[in-house]
Amino acid sequence: MPVWSLAEQTGLVSLLDRVRFRSSKVRSGAVNPAGKLACVVAGMAAGADCIDELDVVRCGGMTTLFDGVYAPATMGILLREFTFGHTQQLASAARAHLVALVARTPVLAGADQRVFIDIDSLLRPVYGYAKQGASFGHTKVAGKQVLRKGLSPLATTISTLISAPVVAGIRLRAGKASSGKGAASMVTEAITAARAAGASADLLVRGDSAYGNSAVVRACRDAGARFSVVLTKNRAVNAAIATLTDSAWTPVHYPGAVTDPDTSELISDAEVAEVEFTAVATTPHPVTARLIVRRVRDRNHQDALFPVWRYHPFFTNNTEPTAQADITHRGHAIIETVFSDLIDGPLAHLPSGRFSANSAWALCAMMAHNLLRAAATLTTRRHTRARGATLRRHLINVPARLVKPQRRPVLRLPTHWPYGQPWLNLWNNVFSPRHPPPATA
């Protein structure tokens, strides 16, 4: 109840009302889309990962506490009514809801200091022949590149130095789509959403080698954000690396690095250096910035007469010192924690055979994730960075008993419940004199 009341206070249902259907394939299939989509988000927040499991919003006393709860089949019919235009409307509503969550909760605390926008893609495997858009794409399994049949969501996240990442946008693509397809427009939308959410400080866009291209760099510069993207090693990059002398390299002290107790030197042999570099020089819009190179020993050549190094270059206009810029860039891996949460939750499956329905499903997963992250900031410091499964277990799937003394519904929590205090913190922060609890609670 407190989590969904937070969604109502931030105007989720009214924002979902932006999705309008002029006609429907199934009679009354697109009636009241806002209420049905709200039930989809609520079911995902409670742990549903397919259409049938959305029935969790009707179990127990849920229908007593909440009005307008729909059956899973009804919600599935609505999802199949979606087209590309409807998913664009839903994406706009999802970004607007993120802005509303930031205004209501400290979910992006520290946005006035520094903001990071990360972009990456993943491949969600699907099976059978009925999935529209499913095709074979490259993914990593146990550290090896393999081909798997699936669909490829492209996602952007927003985070700060002290807050966990929230999803700024997610776009479903065919499995064979290249990782960088549509990345420039996604970066522009994420920067716009971050600015609307109050990010008045320096914005840094981070990405791997799939996004080290002129389109992404130009999108960052046009939107007034800095960039830090990996460059694929080619002849020009290799020539720039070859100009670095031995004295240019400095060791990097990563957070949590271990020092040798005898020599007091870092056990890690990572070193960084930088050189000025002009990227995309053959295009009409060349960019000159810093090429920062990180090198580590290649342990496959243990008995070599001279050390053999592996080089990892990235291109950035970040103004930090070389070593600190490398540490900041490697923080891009935080987006993998968001993917882990989504895969362990609503994106465990892409349940429909229709591509647009799965696109809408992914956007609802984005809203459910951001709602959980915002609710976590109103509990305890431990929960602000907890996994989505932990938040569902501690804050949503509450072992409450519904009783009706004097015909008035009352929720009774267990006496020795170990997560009672975080839940009560959430309740008190959501329901204040300005936002009283609902009459049915």
- Could you report the per-residue pLDDT of 77-92, keeping only the tens digit for each? 999 999 999 999 999 9
Both tokens of residue 237?
């990059």
Mean pLDDT across the chain, nearest whole number? Answer: 90
Q: What is the pLDDT of residues 37-87, one digit of tens each?
A: 999 999 999 999 999 999 999 988 888 888 889 999 999 999 999 999 999
pLDDT at position 305, please? 66
Residue 320 inside a domain? The answer is: no
Residue 376 inside a domain? The answer is: yes
- The Cα 314–Cα 277 span in angstroms is 11
| Number of domains within the chain | 1
- Model confidence at 440, pLDDT cuts 50, 70, 90, reads very low
pLDDT at position 402, please? 85
| CB neighbour burial string for 173-198, b if at least 16 within 10 angstroms, e if fewer | bbbbbebbbebbebbbbbbebbbebe
Q: What is the pTM of this model?
A: 0.92
Q: What is the pLDDT of residues 286-345, one digit of tens each?
A: 899 999 999 988 777 666 667 788 899 999 999 999 999 999 999 999 999 999 999 999
Q: Are 392 and 372 in contact (CB under 8 A)?
A: yes
Residue 375 inside a domain? The answer is: yes
The top-scoring range by mean pLDDT among 145-159, 248-262, 425-439 is: 145-159
Please name the helix (run of DSSP H) or strand (run of DSSP E) that holds residue 49, with its range, or none.
none
Which residues, including other chains, have CB under 8 Å from residue 83's CB and lie 6 or more apart? 356
- Model confidence at 267, pLDDT cuts 50, 70, 90, reads low
Q: What is the mean pLDDT of residues 392-413?
A: 87
Closest CA to 157 of 98, 117, 120: 117
Q: Are 37 and 19 in contact (CB under 8 A)?
A: yes
Q: How buried is 162 (Cβ within 10 angstroms: 0-12 exposed, 13-18 middle, 19+ buried)?
A: middle
Residue 2 inside a domain? The answer is: yes
- Model confidence at 239, pLDDT cuts 50, 70, 90, reads very high
Indicate whether 385 pLDDT > 50: yes
Residue 114 inside a domain? The answer is: no
* Cα 227 from chain centre: 18
Q: What is the pLDDT of residues 115-152, one digit of tens each?
A: 999 999 999 999 888 899 999 998 877 778 888 999 99
Residue 385 inside a domain? The answer is: yes
Q: Above pLDDT 90, what percent of the chain? A: 71
Indicate whether 432 pLDDT > 80: no
pLDDT at position 400, please? 84
Q: What is the pLDDT of residues 334-372, one digit of tens each?
A: 999 999 999 999 999 999 999 999 999 999 999 999 999
Q: Are 216 and 177 in contact (CB under 8 A)?
A: no
pLDDT at position 68, please? 83
Which residues, including other chains, have CB under 8 Å from residue 267's CB and lie 6 or more apart? 257, 258, 259, 260
> What residue numbers bound the domain in which 374 lies?
1-104+352-441
Q: Are 318 and 290 in contact (CB under 8 A)?
A: yes
Which residues, including other chains, have CB under 8 Å from residue 198's CB and lie 6 or more apart? 102, 103, 108, 111, 112
Question: Amino acid identity, residue 288?
Answer: T
DSSP letters for 83-135: -HHHHHHHHHHHHHHHHHHHHHS-TTTTTTTEEEEEEEE--EE--SS--TT-E
Q: Are 78 and 32 in contact (CB under 8 A)?
A: no
| Beta bridge partners of residue 116, listed in sequence order | 159, 204
Q: Label the pairing between strands 135-141 and 144-160.
A: antiparallel
Q: Are 236 and 281 in contact (CB under 8 A)?
A: yes
Both tokens of residue 179?
């990782």
